[in-house]
Structure 1
């Protein structure tokens, strides 16, 4: 065999991949080229106003370019793939938006604007679902999703502007036009500019302590910029003094961002850094003009006129900050810390109670067999940050021979009202049905589910019930999966037409102990979390779970905690003992 053949195959595969990416990029470029040609022709023929020109620039150039940056050139998650598709096919929708600006206000112009609105709603929907699927743990991605969501608000205001709705609203037509501009620029371009800077910031230094320090500051900044934009829009609508207050708060966060970018110019890159820096200086200038205008309105002194606002604030933001800022990140192309490719979610569902009988039925009992443990091999969980060989042998045995162990659980709800509400909803479901407090002896069995029946590999059902009443307590489907050299416990709790999936990362604890956590590492680059799947939609729940198992005095002791929005709501302490009969064997 020719030793160069394998190398040739690799190079050929790389060429095919590059050709595929090149074709994909060319589609985005072609979309932009068509938009640029049509936009320039329209500008030459119609002599548009600054507002109309800024909107057309957003329709044809800024929106598709920024969408392609959000999606990256090789997205893996369904939402980023959808966003990239939108970037490639935005031209006909943008053309409809441009056409609406060329018509007299009325139902026909509003209908054309509604076509652009449909596009913005699709982009916003993917941003919202991306946020729900991932959660807010990555502030740079969350602020991008906020920008995508606000784009649809801009589409709504465009329809209102082109329909002539000013006659029916307590606002002037200019105010409605400016609000449409605001949500296409300040509420869309700026959050994505911020998110791109965040991607670069967290990618520049990946040390955990540095990432954690930056994340705290950047989270506050991102929240201020995402929340400040709609507040400013309200200020525009309501006028002084409310607009002065909202603008003042917003400007503080904008200056913070700009100064942070300026301090990072040399590290961002040779071309991208200076462009981002110039864009930041322009933004600081235009926000200064905005402040003078608001002060003039409040004190009834024309420091800056409306014409000056349009020229120095609107035009410079649109054609200066937005264009240069977008170009900067188009050159730098910062990558996200983690591509939220879907982890495997079990197909097991139930249409009623998830009691013993139903779980066995949904587990295809006729094709299943009685099992002994939750996992078959600890090597499935080995990774750079976890060494299964360091785990105590009794703990390792418990997970491999779970069937031979008895559990006694002491349950304590930190907030009784939540416990009562949980029992009310879980009684009929037969899932996560816990008493309010006290000891409970659990009995259970393990059922192996054939691989071909589910997305999850080597699936095992652990059926647990109250030994005294026989009521189902927990019925979970255990498996493991790996993402980027990290192994995870993948635990599914089937519900009525849905499933809760707990993705827990194993950790080594002192003395050979085992920790499992749904909390992400400081760099926020893992699958950890608690997720709810209904149909094809998966969202991340605001729950956190930690589990610590230790071997003390011949027995296993486990502490299991659940937190809601960071506040502990449930603590379960378990004593796990091996059955005597099995010990004699």
Structure 2
């Protein structure tokens, strides 16, 4: 019995040592990346940017002002298909639908989480046992520079067209390091935020040189997902990839997320420009 207790204590000590080492690595990886400090209270909701005093009163047209700001070796905005570029620069002109798929092994957890996300009105996706497609209405609001130090920050609020509930409330911005500009997205959560750093790349082509785009955490040093809290910032074992491709006058987009290499969520977006 004594040997068993000693073995159990040794195993617990080893696990704690590994956990502490992992926590230190997660903190080191997040150090020096300019992420949003904005957090929320118990509820986020569609009026969060105004309720939190973040806005200037201006209303940007899209997720970014000009894709040309992201030009670098390996990414030429002039090669991007006009429909895709127009979507990024005039996003509010595009009503969207989102079709959500929770993958096997994560459906029970997603069903339980849906109760919380619905109450908080953030990351308010349909659960695996509900209707999987939701129609979204978008609006943008410019964010004060003293509230969020990233470049060109704007809130993108997406609400359920039927219920008016917030589905996504996110603060989009960017920063530049070593001649490369990254997209950064902060999702305010109760007393924290989930921040994503994404690299912009070309995706596919139409045979005439025009391409879609991919925003991904799967390449480069800075890209990744980070949990920002008052106690510090941690890199998370999550990855994310958006691919956006032309579809007539609109675009189709696919968002895929993985945890430790295992796919758990796919969202398909359809966006058609208003006439």
Q: Shared fold by TM > 0.5? A: yes
TM-score by length of 2: 0.84
Q: Does 1:438 align with 2:128?
A: no
Greater fraction helix: 1
After the TM superposition, which parts of structure 1 deviate over 3 Å for at least 4 consecutive aligned residues?
124-130
Q: Which has the higher contact order (CA 8 A, sep 6+)?
A: 2
Q: Does 1:551 align with 2:246?
A: yes
Deviation of residue 127 (structure 1)?
A: 5.9
Deviation of residue 397 (structure 1)?
A: 1.2
Alignment match, 2:100: 411
Q: Give the Cα–Cα distance (whole angstroms) in 2 for the partners of residues 545 and 396 of structure 1.
A: 21
After superposition, the C-alpha distances for 1:175-222 in whole angstroms (9 at most, x for unaligned) are xxxxxxxxxxxxxxxxxxxxxxxxxxxxxxxxxxxxxxxxxxxxxxxx
Q: Does 1:453 align with 2:147?
A: yes
Q: Does 1:520 align with 2:219?
A: yes
Distance change >3 Å, CA 375–CA 536, structure 1 → 2? farther
2:75 maps to which of 379, 386, 401: 386
Structure 2: runs of 5 or more not aligned: 1-17, 206-210
Structure 1: runs of 5 or more not aligned: 1-123, 136-339, 581-585
- Residue correspondences, number: 248
2:58 maps to which of 369, 386, 389: 369
Alignment match, 2:8: none
Alignment match, 2:49: 359
| SS of aligned partner of 2:132 | strand
CA radius of gyration, larger in: 1
Deviation of residue 417 (structure 1)?
A: 1.3
Greater fraction strand: 2
Alignment match, 1:503: 197
After superposition, the C-alpha distances for 1:20-79 in whole angstroms (9 at most, x for unaligned) are xxxxxxxxxxxxxxxxxxxxxxxxxxxxxxxxxxxxxxxxxxxxxxxxxxxxxxxxxxxx
Q: Give the Cα–Cα distance (whole angstroms) in 1 for the partners of residues 268 and 181 of structure 2.
A: 25
Q: Give the Cα–Cα distance (whole angstroms) in 1 for the partners of residues 231 and 79 of structure 2.
A: 39
Alpha carbon RMSD of aligned pairs, Å?
2.1
TM-score by length of 1: 0.41
Q: Give the Cα–Cα distance (whole angstroms) in 1 for the partners of residues 180 and 53 of structure 2.
A: 27
| SS of aligned partner of 2:156 | strand
| SS of aligned partner of 2:49 | helix
Once the two structures are superposed, the pairs formed by residues 36-435 of structure 1 within 5 Å of their partners are 129-133=23-27, 341-365=31-55, 367-415=56-104, 416-435=107-126
Q: Give the Cα–Cα distance (whole angstroms) in 1 for the partners of residues 200 and 28 of structure 2.
A: 20
Q: Give the Cα–Cα distance (whole angstroms) in 1 for the partners of residues 73 and 125 of structure 2.
A: 36
Deviation of residue 554 (structure 1)?
A: 2.9
Is the CA contact (8 Å cut-off) linking 1:412 and 1:571 kept in structure 2? Answer: yes
